[in-house]
Each structure stands twice: as C-alpha cells, then as structure tokens.
Amino acid sequence: MKSLLSVFIYTLSMTLPGIGNALSFPLPAPGNDIVGEVRQIQTRYEDTFSDIARANGLGYTEMTESNPQVDPWLPGEGTSVTLPTRFILPPGPREGVVINLAELRLYYFPKGEDRVITYPLGIGREGWSTPTGNARVTRKQQGPTWYPPESIRQEHAAKGNPLPKVVKPGPDNPLGTHAIYLSMAGYLLHGTNKPYGVGMRVSHGCIRLYPEDIAVLFDQVAPNTPVRIINEPYKAGWENGRLFVETHPPLSEQRSREGINFTPLVRAIINALGDSQQKPDWEAMKQAALGQRGIPVPVTPAVAPTIPSTTPAPHSLMLSESEPVASESQGR
C-alpha cells in the first residue's frame, strides 16, 4: 500500500502544474536591500516545524534558528512561532540564480521582471560540501535518471543498503521529479523523495528543493541562466537609510576551522556602509552575530523623518501670483 501511494504521489507531481509555496517579492527601491516581513502564527496541536516550514516557503533550520525556545517536533497547541520571511538580499548582482549556502536559500531574479523569488534548500552535508562558484544552467530534465557515483555506491554498500548503477525515474529516485543541471560538473538542482531534508545539510553535495518548488523553478529558469553559489552567513543591507544585518550559523566545517569569528560580519558591514558617515552600534552587531536567528536587525539608528519647515520662505524665493508654476514635465 505504501509503495502504491508513493507511485501515485510521484505520478501526480509529474503531471500537475507546479503550485509551490515560494516567496515572491517586488525588488526594493534603489538604495534598499530588504524584502518581506517577519510574521507570527499560532500552532495547531499536530504541527511540527517541518510542516510549518514547508507550508510557508521556509526550511526546517530557518524555523529552529528563529524559534530557539520552541520544541520543533512538539510545539504544542496555540504556541506563537516566528516565520522568518524577511530577508536581506544577497550581495552581488541581482540576476539569474543566487544560492547562499550558509542561509540554505536560493534567490531567483527573473530577467526583465522587477521581483525576486526565493526558495529554501537542502545542501551537501559535511564531507560532501556543496562548492561555491559561478555556473550556468546547461539543461533540464523532467523525470531524471540517477547514475550514483562510485563513492556514493560504496558508502551505501558499507551500510548494507547497496545501490544499483542506474536509478530510473520513479518514487525511489532521490532526484525527485525534476532536475536542473549546471555547468559545474556533477552538481545540479533537483527535487527529492525525502522533502523533510529541505532546509538541512543532508545531501551528497547537490542542491535539493521541495518537490512542488523544483517543479515551479524548472519552468522559470532557461538554459544558460547564470547561477552564482556563495557562502555568506553574514549579510548587511539598507532599508530607508538604516543599516541592518542578518546572521546565520556558519557551516560546521567553517566553525571548526575558524571558531567564533566576527571578521566576516565586520567586513559585510564595512562594505555596506561604503561612504556613509553613519556609525554602527557594534554591541548590537555582536548580539546579532551571537544570536544567529536569521532575521534582519538594525545596527544604525533610525533616520528621523524630514519635517517640513513652517518658516515662510524669503520674499525673493516666493513666486508672484503672475508667475506660472512649472509643470512636472518642464525643465527635465
């Protein structure tokens, strides 16, 4: 019965149009870098963080980072939980696909559209790390066939779970229903037959999305779309003249190598400040770095709104009644 159900779900996902829960936002105004808003919801008795994450375009780790005080498997009836659906856009060009490994998140900037679409990801676990670098989409395949590398076959054999040399399309294929191949040899974006792994580090280096999300992304991206893979646990960006930072735990191998290291965060803030004369609150920065909740927090004061002056303008600057007022189109 379970096998028949898996086949039915797989077939359904192959034939129905994508209805993913991706988050889509208009791009912010020039000089701004933040999209979305943090939300709060009340849990039901049967909810888990995996369920809540998938229904709201988030990954499991994003939920645990932003709700460290809540049991992810038994949050209980009526518990208030935070949905971290507010993001500082990743640094660099806003084009094509940008994947931030430390954030476990993909950003897609559709060409010619003033918006960004973002999806949660699963990436390679320690020892099978997903590499950074620049690539392009080379081809797409619905119903992909998997050819397990010899190293993965040996790993499975050592655990008493041998793999065949070829895994055909179907519910037992870990690539899921859709695959997007990259010019980075051996790496691809794909679905999964184990969606609970999205938002975690559980793969052998490839990048997995929820089945419903990869079906949508599959239709959105075209061959030759640029793909930029970065590893930025600390992001800094502006909103209405105020600087914010968003911090995530560095990848485990990075923590092992560098320990507690605020230098990348300081560098991100300095790069974002540019020529600005604003002075960041370094204590707020430190607390954000230690908290690592994945939610943008301010590190400079709010900019006071400009209050129109009530002092009359000098007579020489006032228009006489006989002087026509220039239309908006004049002088441009």
Full DSSP string of 115-143: EEEEEE-BEEPTTSPPPPEEEEEEEEEES
Whole-angstrom CA distances from 220 to 19, 96, 120, 212 are 13, 10, 16, 13
Using CA atoms of 166, 167, 169, 170 in order, give the dihedral in degrees to the nearest 10: 160
Question: Are residues 282 and 152 part of one domain?
Answer: no
Residue 250 placed within a domain: yes
Question: Are residues 294 and 147 part of one domain?
Answer: no
Question: Are residues 286 and 213 part of one domain?
Answer: no
Q: Are 60 and 196 in contact (CB under 8 A)?
A: yes
Question: Are residues 133 and 276 part of one domain?
Answer: no
Distance (Å, rounded) from C-alpha 140 to C-alpha 190? Answer: 10
Residues of the domain holding 242: 234-298
Question: Are residues 184 and 111 part of one domain?
Answer: yes
The candidate with the shortest Cα–Cα distance to 99, out of 197, 204, 187, is 187
What local confidence, expressed as pLDDT, does residue 194 receive?
A: 84
| 241, two tokens | 């003249």
The candidate with the shortest Cα–Cα distance to 72, out of 43, 42, 50, is 50
Question: Are residues 116 and 245 part of one domain?
Answer: no
Residue 45 placed within a domain: no
- Checking DSSP bridges between strand 242-247 and strand 234-239, what pairing results, if any? antiparallel
What are the residues whose beta carbons fall under 8 Å from the beta carbon of 95, sequence distance 6 or more? Answer: 109, 111, 226
Q: Which of 156, 190, 248, 315 is catalytic?
A: 190
| 208, two tokens | 């997995």
Distance (Å, rounded) from C-alpha 137 to C-alpha 54? Answer: 26
Question: Are residues 239 and 212 part of one domain?
Answer: no
156 is known as an active-site residue: no
Among 230, 252, 277, residue at a domain's last position: 230
What are the residues whose beta carbons fall under 8 Å from the beta carbon of 41, sequence distance 6 or more? Answer: 52, 56, 80, 81, 83
62 — phi, psi (to 5°)? -60, -40
Residue 317 placed within a domain: no
pLDDT by residue for the chain (332 residues), tens only, comes to 434 434 434 444 443 444 457 899 999 999 999 999 999 999 999 999 999 999 999 999 999 999 999 999 999 999 999 999 999 999 999 999 999 999 999 999 999 999 999 999 988 755 457 889 999 999 999 999 988 777 677 766 777 777 767 778 888 888 999 999 999 988 899 999 888 889 876 655 579 999 999 999 999 999 999 999 999 999 999 999 999 999 998 887 776 677 777 888 889 999 999 988 898 888 888 888 888 889 999 999 887 665 554 544 444 333 333 333 333 333 43
Whole-angstrom CA distances from 40 to 47, 72, 91 are 15, 15, 27
315 is known as an active-site residue: no
| 128, two tokens | 């099978």
Give me the helices (H) in the chain, please.
2-15, 49-55, 60-66, 150-158, 211-220, 252-258, 263-273, 282-291
What local confidence, expressed as pLDDT, does residue 168 receive?
A: 86
The 3-state DSSP class for residue 52 equals helix
What local confidence, expressed as pLDDT, does residue 12 receive?
A: 41
- Checking DSSP bridges between strand 96-100 and strand 226-230, what pairing results, if any? parallel
Q: Residue length, the chain?
A: 332
What are the residues whose beta carbons fall under 8 Å from the beta carbon of 249, sequence distance 6 or more? Answer: 65, 102, 233, 255, 292
Question: Are residues 30 and 121 part of one domain?
Answer: yes
Q: Are 132 and 90 in contact (CB under 8 A)?
A: no
Question: Tell me: the pLDDT tens digits for 83-130?
Answer: 999 999 999 999 999 999 999 999 999 999 999 999 999 887 554 578
Residue 142 placed within a domain: yes
Q: Are 268 and 245 in contact (CB under 8 A)?
A: yes
Domains of the chain: total: 2
Question: Are residues 174 and 113 part of one domain?
Answer: yes
Q: Which of 178, 204, 206, 315 is catalytic?
A: 206
